[in-house]
Structure 1
Amino acid sequence: MTASKYNGFPELRSEYPLLPEQIQAYERDGHLILRGLANEDEIGIYRNVINELVQEHNNQTKPLEERDTYGKAFIQIGNIWMMSDAVRQFVLARRFAKAAADLMGVPSVRIYHDQALFKEPGGGHTPWHQDQIYWPLDTDKTITMWMPLVPVPQEVGSMTFASASHKHGYISKQEISDESHRTLKDYIEGKGLETVDYGAMAAGDATFHAGWTLHSAPGNPTERMREVMTIIYIADGLTIAEPDSNARKNDMAQWFPGLRPGDAAASPINPIVYP
């Protein structure tokens, strides 16, 4: 793949204005949907190159029935923005980054990393979890954008979120597993937290959720791949925390290469994307 092949892709610089009530809803619930954050034409152009990279870098060879719960949940390829100038333009897009900054109420954001999450036909559910148990950061200024590249029908739907669970902070160190699903489902029910999903989504719609927001996703009973791109943003100016788990140690090495606890969370692969 050559850089020149992808010249002329949409820059995604225009703003998506947020209403005060949308920001308030995100602060209250820890999640929000923004319909039409990217339009059909924009997504159609980027989808092809993202799809190509996922196929090229997918090393999953086991059939679904032979995988564990995590393996059945999705094909997962990270930092694909570093593999293609076109995807770089998508992941580092100012439009998406400004929405993330506005929702978090911060003046500037960096990329933590991206992930393509493709749920195969017949793929399993994604267990309840908190993203930030993996991240060596002691902050509430983290957010994930989850954007389908294809229409997602009602029977697949958006992720399911436990509203206001982000206010509970670090609930459990359990990584994504059957155990995390059981434990956190019991926690949600015990605390009486409302669960919300946004149903069918168009390509280019996007949900945003805080790093501590509990969330899960249903399986894919359809015959079509659920193609999703995620981008994780962090506020600029954060400091790397001392990892308190192997998951966080591994993430520090992978996503903050060459950095140590106490350093600024700002390696060369965590560029500022807004402003």
Structure 2
Amino acid sequence: MLKDQFQAVPDSSQLQQIERDLRFYPTTNAHPQVLSQEQVEQFNRDGYIKDLTIFSPAEIASIRQQFDELLSRTLATGADSYSISSAHLKYGFCWDLLTNSRIVAIVKDLLGENVVAWGSHFFCKMPGDGKAVAWHQDASYWPLSPSRNVTAWLAIDDADIENGCMRFIAGSHQYGHMTFRDSNPAEHNVLNQTIENPWQYGHEVIDSLAAGQISIHSDLLLHGSEANNSSRRRCGLTLRYAAAEVRAALDWNQKGVIVSGSDPSGHWANRPRPTRDLPE
């Protein structure tokens, strides 16, 4: 997988040495504050919720402008468009997005009162870049346990079939952790794992989103995306959240920001907002 600029992402052999509980834990919430009861039930059944509007057109245009400048400066260093990872540890505007109260309120309805935010990674497919994201489970890459983690995928640009939006396999999170193989170079995979024949686990859902919308999915949900063969960019920001009870190995707890409630154990670092918004 891509190198995280704060902490190298562990390889499969490292993760195999860590005892992890990779079972799906359904949400139990009789009185959600933002989501409807039907949406909570859908998350438990299908592993995702989509089409949640967070930012107005004007707000997402401002966010996009900040990302455009960040991307320009990143590319100027010779890095690629997928390399902006753990962005909340370096750039204030990314920390603001990760801790945004509108997103956190939705996550709380799924994970409970005590929530830690720990990840922020831009997946930016440039026009015609030819790279796909193979079918995978996020939990395969993370030294976290138990599996009470979700990703909020924020559309910086409109994301649709033409420019390589995400796809889910509804209900696949119910099967727990799955066997994967290493991807081969011919797949042009942004990541390095591939799960074969995903359709045996459920039906495919197209996660098309308008800029400013989010979808939320379980870390055990099978998902991926085709290459962007269009003339338009497709950028999404993955925002990662965990229930505060989740334990992180390999110092990943140092990425954490307490965004709701508290962390009674003190396991997670509570990272402050970076003072700068862009690379110097």
Q: CA RMSD in A?
A: 3.1
1:98 and 2:105 are equivalent in the alignment: yes
Greater helix share, structure number:
1
The letter for the 2-side match of 1:185 is E
Contact 1:40 1:204 in 2 (8 A): yes
Contact 1:46 1:87 in 2 (8 A): no
Per-residue displacement from partner, 1:183-202 (whole Å, max 9, x unpaired)? Answer: 6232x23x352111133x21
Counterpart-to-counterpart distance in 1, 2:255 and 2:214: 32
User: How does 1:165-244 map onto structure 2 within 5 Å?
Assistant: 165-172=172-179, 174=181, 178=187, 184-186=195-197, 188-189=198-199, 191-199=200-208, 201-240=209-248
TM-score, normalising length: structure 2? 0.71
Counterpart-to-counterpart distance in 2, 1:16 and 1:39: 21
1:55 and 2:67 are equivalent in the alignment: no
1:256 and 2:258 are equivalent in the alignment: no
Question: Which residues of structure 1 form unaligned runs of 5+?
Answer: 1-14, 63-70, 242-251
Deviation at 1:82, TM superposition (A): 2.9
Deviation at 1:174, TM superposition (A): 4.4
Q: Using a 3 Å threshold, how does the CA distance of structure 1 residues 194 and 184 change in structure 2: closer, same or farther? A: same
The letter for the 1-side match of 2:125 is K
Deviation at 1:269, TM superposition (A): 3.7
Residue in structure 1 matched with residue 115 of structure 2 by the alignment? 109
Deviation at 1:160, TM superposition (A): 0.7
Contact 1:148 1:203 in 2 (8 A): yes
Counterpart-to-counterpart distance in 1, 2:137 and 2:272: 21
Contact 1:47 1:149 in 2 (8 A): yes
State the identity as a percent: 23
Residue in structure 1 matched with residue 155 of structure 2 by the alignment? 148
Q: Using a 3 Å threshold, how does the CA distance of structure 1 residues 47 and 210 change in structure 2: closer, same or farther? A: same
Question: Which residues of structure 2 form unaligned runs of 5+?
Answer: 1-31, 257-264, 274-280
Deviation at 1:52, TM superposition (A): 1.6
Residue in structure 2 matched with residue 244 of structure 1 by the alignment? none
Q: What count of residue pairs does the alignment treat as equivalent? A: 229
Residue in structure 2 matched with residue 245 of structure 1 by the alignment? none
Counterpart-to-counterpart distance in 2, 1:60 and 1:196: 37
Partner of residue 268 from structure 2, selected from 249, 266, 269? 266
Residue in structure 1 matched with residue 50 of structure 2 by the alignment? 33
SS at match of 1:160: strand
Counterpart-to-counterpart distance in 2, 1:219 and 1:183: 15
SS at match of 2:50: strand
Contact 1:146 1:207 in 2 (8 A): yes
Counterpart-to-counterpart distance in 2, 1:95 and 1:129: 28
TM-score, normalising length: structure 1? 0.72
Contact 1:150 1:203 in 2 (8 A): yes
Contact 1:129 1:176 in 2 (8 A): no
The letter for the 1-side match of 2:243 is A
SS at match of 1:256: helix
Deviation at 1:55, TM superposition (A): 2.6
SS at match of 1:207: strand
Counterpart-to-counterpart distance in 1, 2:183 and 2:101: 31
Deviation at 1:139, TM superposition (A): 1.6
Which deviates the most, 125-134 or 176-185? 176-185
Per-residue displacement from partner, 1:95-151 (whole Å, max 9, x unpaired)? Answer: 1112112133x1121112101110011122111111111111122310001111122
Counterpart-to-counterpart distance in 2, 1:110 and 1:192: 30
